[in-house]
Structure 1
Amino acid sequence: MIDTVLVVAGLALAAVVLLPFWVEHRRPKMDDQARVEAPGHFAELSQGITHYRWYGGETGPVVVCVHGLTTPSFVWDPLARRLALIGFRVLVYDLFGRGYSDRPAGEQEDAFFVRQLEDLLADQRLTDDITLFGYSMGGAIAAAFAARHPERLRQLVLIAPAGFGGFPTGFVRTIRDHSPVGDWLALTLFPRRHRQAATALARTNPLQAEAAHGQAAQLDWKGFIPAVLSSLRHMLRDDLEREHRKLAREDLHILAIWATEDDVIPLSGMGRLTQWNRAAVQTQVAGANHWLPLTHPDEIVDAFKDGME
């Protein structure tokens, strides 16, 4: 009798442990069929297919935008439209593991994301004189790219950027730092937290309901949660002091735009950037939280024009 109870208990425990991994395995893949109605275009790059879109006319200075950890390139839509109206050509794209781009294997470290950007720029025949925008984790990716290729950039614009410490904290830090338990926790608990964040965006900003829906829908696809977890463990593991000190020596114009009510990226990053690069221009968007590319695009454009090289 006791043996039977132990066997049943063991099977139940195994089911609890394995169920999140089975659910992830059963999610649909991002493939050609899933991309049928996707806007924009696709580039076959060395690490996989990348989804991208252009805003603006055939001529004009080029802006390239790198999004963050969990929100695909649609996070740039309000800002990209406004930049196009003032004469810029704007390229946005989905990082691997997000949106309509592939989910390639490999550690999502700085070299992984820099290579994707290098490949996309080569595919689009963009060589230099680029204004590079980076938001959240995209700010860390943009800084890593800039440190490798300062000669290719006109300027670097960082919006609520990661790479200055203070992120992640709490649950997100737990899943980052405690493998393999963190993998199970990510697959089990992260979806609910992710949906809650999307719901809060729609509730507080009704005009962004479509974006909130797109944010929550990322969970429907195989590879999204593992991509987020890999980025936390690699791209977002360390600060970018070395890169920013190098950029200070390169004399590249840098504008950093922070949100005063950001509960993801702390404002302490302003002080650290000042320590690493005193020439960097910094400003804050009053009343904005971490969703500021969606909720405060006009203020970002104003800050960009005021601080533009």
Structure 2
Amino acid sequence: MNKLNPEVGKNVVVNGLRTNVHDVGAGSPVVLIHGSGPGVTAWANWRLVIPELAKGRRVIAPDMVGFGYTDRPSSITYNLETWLTHIVGLLDTLEIASADIIGNSFGGALALALAIRHPERVNRLVLMGSVGVPFEITEGLDAVWGYEPSIHNMRRIMDFFAFNEGLVNDDLAELRYRASMQTGVQDAFAAMFPAPRQRWVDALASADEDIRMLKHSTLILHGRDDRVIPLATSLRLNELICDSQLHVFGRCGHWTQIEHANRFTQIVDLFLAEDRRMDYFAIE
């Protein structure tokens, strides 16, 4: 991690793309795939949980192509295939045969598709506020993907993310606005999800029959009060994935890993433990 900018980790070349990766800890690998908010980075998304998860395993959190401090080639087409190729390439570059995968929102759709198309690369699966099944696009997600740079618009988007209004203030909005205004960031972001945006929800969805075929042990997490990705998506994933369990956080929006960081980490840590127990009564 760069002491001057904690969002900058290690520089790894993946399929010719300079990829910003946070690679910390030792042991069984777990890969964290971030969401798709404007100006997002892996560190911004996972900063509260990386240190705890890294106490007992190797945590790998990349900026996906087009996001953060990873390359944004002008010639690239942003779609599910592009991002899947990038994550598989990262595993190959780091010589990781298989890993536990945690996906947040957009990252959940990638994690789900990775488990379907490359099942041998995924051990256990954690889906948090996940895209990946069809739903009618929400006002919140349409605002996120339709972001046009301004501090006012960034503040409006962040208000959609959090249930706890105290987590969002003008200083944080300005910080994320500045991140969204780095050279090339907004151009790449605007190319990912142009209107009409319902088609991108559909494009990131996996087929029901493919999801039903999954053999992976899966933990599904969602904020009950999520205004970006509806809780119904996780209920559907829980219905489709045979070996799955669902935990719903009350008084929680789309920022499960931020609004309930300690409990999120405890639940995930237990799920990824070797005995695979989910003893909620043991959580304090």
Give the shorter-chain TM-score range. Answer: 0.7 to 0.9
Query: How has the CA–CA distance of structure 1 residues 162 and 190 changed in structure 2, closer, same or farther, with 3 Å as cutoff?
Result: farther
1:286 Cα shift?
Answer: 1.8
The alpha carbon displacement at 1:209 in A equals: 8.6
Identical positions, percent: 22
| CA distance in 1: counterparts of 2:92 and 2:175, whole angstroms | 29
In 1: Cα distance, 2:259 partner to 2:166 partner: 10
Does 2:185 match 1:224? yes
Measured in 1, the distance between the counterparts of 2:243 and 2:31 equals 22
Structure 1 position 238 matched with structure 2 position 203: yes
Q: Which amino acid aligns with 1:141?
A: L
Correspondence list, 1:10-29, <5 A: none
Structure 1 residue 192: Cα displacement: 3.8
- What is the Cα deviation at residue 97 of structure 1? 2.1
User: Is residue 150–residue 177 contact of structure 2 (8 Å, CA) maintained in 1?
Assistant: no
Q: Deviations over 1:104-137 (max 9, x none)?
A: 2322111100111112112211112x11000010
Q: Deviation of residue 168 (structure 1)? A: 3.0
Aligned counterparts of 2:140 and 2:106: Cα–Cα separation in 1: 17
State how far apart, in whole Å, the 2-side matches of 1:190 and 1:235 are.
23
TM-score (ref. length: structure 2): 0.79
Aligned to 2:30: 63
C-alpha deviation, 1:94, in angstroms:
0.7
Deviations 1:74-102 (A, max 9, x none): 111111111123x0110111112221111
Say whether 1:298 aligns with 2:262: yes
- 8 Å contact from structure 2 (residues 72, 188) kept in 1: yes
Change (3 A) 1:209 1:187: closer
Q: Distance in 2 between matches of 1:122 and 1:79?
A: 25
> Which of these residues, 197, 217, 220, is aligned with residue 253 of structure 1?
217
Secondary structure of the 1:127 match is coil
Larger Rg: 1
What CA distance in whole angstroms lies between the structure 1 residues aligned with 2:239 and 2:204?
13
Cα displacement string for residues 194-214 of structure 1 (whole angstroms, at most 9, x for unaligned residues) = 2433478696127x9986554
Equivalent positions of 1:189-200 (< 5 A) are 192-198=152-158
- Equivalent residue of 1:281, what SS? strand
- Matching of residues 155-194 of structure 1 within 5 Å: 155-166=124-135, 168-170=137-139, 173=142, 186=146, 188=148, 192-194=152-154
Query: Deviation digits for residues 21-78 of structure 1, max 9, x if unmatched?
Result: xxxxxxxxxxxxxxx956321112225211011222xx31111000010221011111
- Report the counterpart of residue 122 of structure 1 in structure 2: 92
Distance 2:136 2:219 in 1: 20
Superposition deviation, residue 306 in structure 1 = 4.4
What is the 5 A alignment of 1:255-294?
255-294=219-258
User: Which of 33, 46, 52 is 1:76 aligned to?
Assistant: 46
Matched, 1:204 2:166: yes
1:166-214 per-position Cα deviation (integer Å, ceiling 9, x unaligned): 35334864997xxxxxxxxx575776422433478696127x9986554
Shift of 1:255: 0.9
Is this contact kept in 1: 2:129–2:234, CA < 8 A?
no
**In the aligned structure 1, how far is the partner of 2:154 from the partner of 2:82?**
24
Q: Helix, strand or coil: the match of 2:201?
A: coil
Cα separation, 2, equivalents of 1:92 and 1:175: 22
5 Å matches for 1:127-146? 127-128=97-98, 130-146=99-115
Structure 2: gaps of 5 or more residues: 277-284
The letter of the residue matching 1:60 is G
Structure 1 residue 257: Cα displacement: 0.4
**Could you say which structure has the higher helix fraction?**
1
In 2, are the aligned partners of 1:167 and 1:265 still within 8 Å (CA)? Answer: no
Q: So what's the TM-score if we normalise by structure 1?
A: 0.73
